[in-house]
Structure 1
Amino acid sequence: MHKASWAGALALAFLAGCAETQQAADTTVAAAKAQVNPTLSTSDATFMTTATRGGLAEVRLGQLAQRNGRSEPVKRFAAKMMTDHGTANQGMAALAQQKQITPPDSIGAEHQEVYDSLAKLRGRAFDRAYAKAMVQDHQEDLRIYQEEAQNGTDPDVKAFAARQVPVLQEHLRMAQRLPQR
């Protein structure tokens, strides 16, 4: 793939701002990464790209919740997200370095859309919207991590995903207990 067409695919994904386009862009990026490291499958590289974007988003959204949230449970949850996903992000960065790929350094269009929407809210309205977003986000995170843990081809990436599944399950339970009404 030429540099120009790869950059064009990424630019298109950013501008379109929808999940389907973001997933296609992540797959394009993953394919390019898999070419750099031929031992890493495209699906494993896609997982790493998607998981990195999600982890970065959790930290940014947690920071936003600290500023815009009202309730203590939301602020405590946000602090836990910042800590746990920050630690996972460091682990993913080390794994990416080991696999000789460069992880994304942005949250991607889909997560940016959620961030922008939440950034307009304050207090209880923020708390409710953040809680709902965290439930949806952790359901999706759990799905992709379980998929990688079960079907990944790279043993290191697969093991990383498997170690994160219980953490994400707990995050989902916590998010479901946040005030959503």
Structure 2
Amino acid sequence: MRALTIMLGLVLLPGHALAQFGNPAGWAPDSRTDAPGKPAPNQTNYQDRLFAQLVTAGGLAEVELGRLAAGKSTNDEVKAFADRMVGDHTDANAKLKAIADKSRMPLPDRLDPDHEKMRADLEKLDGARFDLEYMKAQVIDHQKTVQLLVWEIGLGQDAEVQQFAKETLPKVLEHLEMARQIQAQLADDARVRPAGTK
């Protein structure tokens, strides 16, 4: 809960506090500046590039797994969540790609091996078991994404990438809370369901 409060505090900082984006300790040695302590536009560092690649990989997985869940689940809440993931992450992926293109940052365009395995494992499941495993994966992936967004806000160099992270964090926190609630409900349902039923 304390970490959530700190993250929300970062998001709600006044605009003037966020105008000084960029962390000089993490700047690339060849970064150009517009003014002392202010990198020129589209100047990325290692953190920006790693962030963009990892968040894009996660976003592609959210869309792919969301489509799988929307078609496979019979639970209305899970289906609605999956549809929301497809819509929200398609939008976020497009925004980040537009920013990355300006800075010539290469981004993945297909699932990484971990998410390929996750999809293959989920495709083997049905019914309540599928729903629970999908939602467990959503909680874990959204926790990772929250950490990446906070990391970029603190250590990134490119102001547009940092701004993307700042604007995306509240939505990802909302997704995480939704996923936790649905997972908890599914786990409760599984505990009261008689053994041997789906």
Q: Distance in 2 between matches of 1:51 and 1:66?
A: 22
The equivalent residue for 2:81 is 77
SS at match of 2:139: helix
The structure richer in helix per residue is: 1
- Identity percentage over the alignment? 36
Which deviations, in whole Å up to 9, do the C-alpha atoms of 1:28-73 show, x marking residues without a partner? xxxxxxxxxx931111101000010000000000000012112000
CA contact (8 A) 1:68 1:121 kept: no
5+ residue gaps, structure 2: 1-41, 188-198
The equivalent residue for 2:121 is 117
CA contact (8 A) 2:43 2:157 kept: no
The equivalent residue for 1:138 is 142
The AA in structure 1 aligned to 2:72 is N
CA contact (8 A) 1:129 1:180 kept: no
Greater Rg over alpha carbons, structure? 2
CA contact (8 A) 2:52 2:96 kept: yes
The equivalent residue for 1:100 is 104
| Structure 1 ranges of 4+ moved more than 3 A | none
Which deviations, in whole Å up to 9, do the C-alpha atoms of 1:83-125 show, x marking residues without a partner? 0000001101101111122311012111112111111111111
The AA in structure 2 aligned to 1:171 is H
The equivalent residue for 1:171 is 175
RMSD: 1.7
CA contact (8 A) 1:132 1:180 kept: no
Which deviations, in whole Å up to 9, do the C-alpha atoms of 1:127-177 show, x marking residues without a partner? 010111111110111111111112211111111111100000000000011
CA contact (8 A) 1:59 1:82 kept: yes
Does structure 1 residue 129 correspond to structure 2 residue 133?
yes
Q: Distance in 2 between matches of 1:163 and 1:107?
A: 24
The AA in structure 2 aligned to 1:47 is F
Does structure 1 residue 67 correspond to structure 2 residue 83?
no
The equivalent residue for 2:92 is 88
The equivalent residue for 1:147 is 151
The AA in structure 2 aligned to 1:174 is M
TM-score of the aligned structures, taking structure 2 as reference length: 0.70
The AA in structure 2 aligned to 1:141 is T
5+ residue gaps, structure 1: 1-37
CA contact (8 A) 2:56 2:108 kept: yes
